[in-house]
Amino acid sequence: MLDSDALLKELLATFEQEAREHLGELSSLLLALERDPEAAERGHLLESVFRRVHTLKGAAHAVNLPDVAFACQRLEDMLADLKRGDLALGLEQFDSLHVSINDLGQRLCFGSPAAEPAAFPAEAPPPIPAPLARTAPRETPESVAPPARQATEPVAVPGAAPRPARLPEGRAVQQRHAVARPQGDETVRVSARLLEELLLQSEELVSAKLSASALHEELAAAAGELALRQGEQGRALEVARRGAKDATGREAALCALLERGCHTERQVVGRLRLLEKSAEKHLRSLQSMLDPLLEEMKKLQLLPCATLCDPFAKVVRDLSRELGKEAEFTCLGGELEIDRRILAELKEPLLHLVRNTVDHGIEPPSVREAAGKPARGSIRIEIRLQDANRAELLLEDDGGGIDVARVKGAALRLEGVSAELLERMPDHEALQLIFEGGLSTKRSVGSVSGRGVGLAIVRDALERLGGHVSVSSTPGAGTAFRLVFPLSFARIRGLLVQVGGRDCVIPATNVELSARVAHDEVKRLENRDTLLVNGELVALVSLGRILEVKRGAAGMERTVCYVLLHAGDKRIAFAVDQVLGVQEILVKPLGRQLSRVRNVAGATVLGNGRVVPVLNVADLFRSALTIEAPAVPPPSPAVPARRVSVLVAEDSITSRTLLKNILESAGYEVRTAVDGADALAQLKAESCDVVVSDIEMPRMDGFQLTAAIRADSRLAALPVILVTGLESRADRERGIDVGASAYLVKSGFDQANLIEVIQKLS
């Protein structure tokens, strides 16, 4: 007996994939049909459409989705009529077919149909009389004798007449490039999930490479360190040998031990060197195995851009019909192959941009004609390589362009930017504001756009990828969006830097150079720090400040270490603690729990196993521009950070030294006095923050010291802690009487206690 639940689940998964493929193909076929090919070609295309719908129907039946199967059946019937020529193929028919396909797509997404199958004809937008008249009698698909009806129905098809004149216009033509799959090669179909897993696993191998590299380095370092001691070793050995000759008994034994020790060390160094060599070999072989593998795996993930852009033809067609506009979509450069995952990330943003263009960009035909433009708008996507690592996608339209004044107005309303800044902003810069979240120049919020969210998402998506988006526009003539993005994901080269004691990685593509300059090269200009780099003035910003990382001891450095980054066409120098080097890293997303973290794009695992954030350079730039950066503080000459100073009065050397050590290691500055009088004398000369004093001291004891301190007007408020072995109530009371701030007994004494008290008092 089959496990029918498991089987059904498996079948549904297969069905979903298959259905998706069929629907995609069906859209393309319909679009091809709309281009009005030769009769033979048309027959062939119709046959293909029919066959696919039929197959889909069978598949739907197999997974027990009768509603979907029924919808397919109706579509099939209509197609059968079209095939036989009983129904003419006009615009309404195409619309109806497209609607049916969309409807099927909907049903498949939601599992259960969105509407009753019987209402299917009614779902077609603006009433399509012809198909309606046809589908009505088909309520009973089992009807045996329709031949009689067919003869009359063609007459009732009004849509057929206007067809020839209109069709040449009302179509979305798509220039197709042959999808670049080499014809001769055999292809296999693999589940995308499996491919994804394999790729992830192979990318983990990069860590293996990195650890091998780290291991090799450590071995080399260890061997190197030991090698440095060669000289010492040699001398030790000499002494040992000579000593062995003259020495007797224990000394001789010591010498012998020393000699043996040296020998062993020599051997160990030798072994380490060997290990280092084999680690190097290991690393090299790993590299030679992994690098080609990873390259090939990357290629597995490559898909031609056409897979991204082809569906847009239908989107443009459907949307323009819906909005009463006319638009033509073309795509150039679809053969370019890009990492599938990047294409997946680009899909939503591009879709939004395209929809936006049809909605905002392309004007209604009447407006266009009045402006002397052809009634049909053109939307064009062009993709090309920018360099070995990046590609550029241009989305151009010949619509009305973007009204900069409106953008500025909307930005003002948003209160994100000040009015004067807006005034001064050049137009091309102001245009980029459309990517700000919340900004919309549309007066009304429509279902397609107007909420002011979409373009911000576009920008976010591009930046997440490590690219960027910009827009340019000529009012009345058109708009162009420029998207730049890397060709493939994940493995990039990164610059490892240290900031505020923390490591982080900056993607190498954004790094122009790194350098160290003397502090006085930093000039302050217009309230910003600037540097002269290669003859150009760039702003200098503290990376630590932007990342809100607490800086260590400030201003101790005499030099400033910085990295010059670029994003888009802007350049800014970021000051860091130090630059640690370039590494090949695998960028991993932060995970669903951290969908958006300012300044951080992802994270990576270094060769030594540490997890380190990868910075989002675009965010850094934005943060840098908004912070009114104060001057990078000049090194304060020789004034160390003020520490709390303590005067210890104790006559016993041991105790005094002990106390001093304890307090100094706690970070205090300690002065000592040998008795009360000495302490008082020192205090009169130079005050301190806290006094810790023993009681039993010659010349002036602790109580007297305390009294004297309290008597002195300058020192009266000084906290005094009495530490002593005297543990009697009377003594404690005396301590309080003289005005001690705290009384600690040595036997109950531990350093934490003392320090706590000091902290409390200072």
Partner 1 sequence: MIRLLVVEDSKTVQRALVAAFEADPGIEVIATAETGEEAVEAARTLRPDLITMDINLPGMDGFDATRAIMSSWPVPIVIVTGKMNPRDSATLFRVMEAGALMVLSKPDPVGTPGYQASVDNLVRHLKLMAEIKVVRRTFPSGKVPPRTDRPVPLPPVHPVKVVAIGASTGGPPLLRQILAALPAHFPAAVVVVQHMAVGFTENFVHWLNRSSTLPVALGTDGAQLVPGQVYVAPDNCHMEVTPSGRLLLSDAPPEYGVRPSVSALFRSVAQSYGRHAMGVLLTGMGKDGALELKAIRGRGGITVAQDRESSMVFGMPGEAIEIDAAQHVLPPAAIIELLQRMTGKGGITPAS
Return residues touching partner 1 (CB under 8 A).
1-2, 4-5, 7-8, 10-11, 14-15, 17-18, 48, 51, 54-59, 61-64, 76-77, 80, 141-142, 144, 146
CB 564 within 8 A of CB 514: yes
Strand partners, 484: 392, 468
- Angle of the 653-665 helix axis to the 751-761 helix axis, nearest 10: 60
Question: Which residue reads 């598949």 in tokens?
Answer: 59
- Give the CA dihedral 177, 179, 182, 187, nearest 10 degrees: -170
Cβ distance to partner 1 smaller for residue 18 or 427: 18
Residue 690 structure tokens: 């806290």
Helix (H, G, I), strand (E, B) or coil at 246: helix
Task: Give the Å distances, CA to CA, from 131 to 46, 100, 156, 401, 579.
Answer: 17, 12, 10, 39, 71
What is the smallest separation between the CB atom of 501 and partner 1, expressed in angstroms? Answer: 57
Kindly give the pairing relationship between strand 690-693 and strand 669-673.
unpaired
In whole angstroms, the minimum distance from the beta carbon of 129 to partner 1 comes to: 23
> Which residue number, 69 or 407, has a Cβ lying nearer to partner 1?
69
Least Å distance, CB 81 to partner 1, is: 10
Q: Least distance to partner 1 from the beta carbon of 58, Å? A: 5
Give the nearest distance from C-beta 54 to partner 1 in angstroms: 5
The residue (of 78 and 128) whose beta carbon lies closer to partner 1 is: 78
Q: Quote the tokens at residue 479.
A: 């708009």
Residue count (the chain): 762
| Distance in angstroms (rounded) separating the CA atoms of residues 643 and 629 | 28
Give counts: helices (H), strands (E), the chain: 25, 23
Task: List 670's β-bridge partners, or say none.
Answer: 646
Nearest to 53 by CA among 17, 29, 88: 29
Q: Which is nearer to partner 1, 55 or 687 (CB)?
A: 55
The Cα–Cα gap between 573 and 220 comes to: 34
Question: Which residue carries 């851009």 as its tokens?
Answer: 305
- In contact, 342 and 317? CB cutoff 8 Å: no
Element of type H or E holding 256: helix 249-300
- CB nearer partner 1, residue 57 or residue 209: 57
Q: Which is nearer to partner 1, 57 or 360 (CB)?
A: 57
- Min separation Cβ 78 and partner 1, Å: 12
Query: Which of 7/681 has CB closer to partner 1?
Result: 7
Rounded CA gap, 676 and 696, in Å?
A: 9
Q: Cβ 72 to partner 1, closest distance in Å?
A: 11
In the complex, least distance from residue 36 CB atom to partner 1, rounded to whole angstroms:
24
HSE (CB half, 13 Å, CA atoms) of 326?
Answer: 16
Collapse the DSSP code of 501 into the 3-class scheme (helix H, G, I; strand E, B; otherwise coil) and give the result: coil
Our CB check for partner 1 shows the closer of 7 and 118 to be 7
Closest distance to partner 1 from the beta carbon of 344 (Å): 23
The distance of closest approach from Cβ of residue 104 to partner 1 in the complex, given in angstroms and rounded to an integer, is 15
Nearer to partner 1 by C-beta: 20 or 451? 20
The 10 Å CB-count burial string (b at 16+, else e) for 388-426 is eeebbbbbbbbbbbbebeebbebbeeeeeeeeeebeebe
Closer to partner 1 by Cβ: residue 136 or 145: 145
DSSP 639-692: -PPP--EEEEE-S-HHHHHHHHHHHHHTT-EEEEESSHHHHHHHHHHS--SEEE
**CB distance 614 to 597 below 8 Å:** no
Give the nearest distance from C-beta 167 to partner 1 in angstroms. Answer: 28
Residue 376's CB is within 10 A of a number of other CB atoms, namely 19
CA 320 vs CA 101, 169, 332, 378: distances in Å: 17, 13, 21, 11
Give the residue with the Cβ less far from partner 1, 28 or 386.
28
* Alpha-carbon span 60 to 77, nearest angstrom: 16
User: Whose Cβ is closer to partner 1: residue 87's or residue 618's?
Assistant: 87
Q: Long-range pairs for 416-423 at CB < 8 Å and ≥24 separation?
A: none
Q: How far is the CB of 347 from partner 1 (least distance, A)?
A: 24
Please report how close the Cβ of residue 41 comes to partner 1 at its closest, in angstroms: 16
Strand-pairing partners, residue 480, are: 396, 472
Cross-strand partners of 390: 486
Residue 59 or 433 with smaller CB distance to partner 1: 59
Of 608, 489, 598, give the one whose Cα is nearest residue 548: 598
C-alpha distance from residue 633 to each of 520, 523, 554, 560 (Å): 11, 12, 8, 11
The minimum distance between CB 131 and partner 1, in angstroms, equals 17
- CB-nearer residue toward partner 1: 6 or 685: 6
| Shortest Å distance, C-beta 85 to partner 1 | 14
d(CA 373, CA 474): 14
Q: Which is nearer to partner 1, 16 or 712 (CB)?
A: 16
Query: In angstroms, what is the minimal distance from the CB of 109 to partner 1?
Result: 17
- Helix axis angle for 4-34 and 306-323, nearest 10°, is 70
| Nearer residue to partner 1 within complex by CB, 141 or 270 | 141
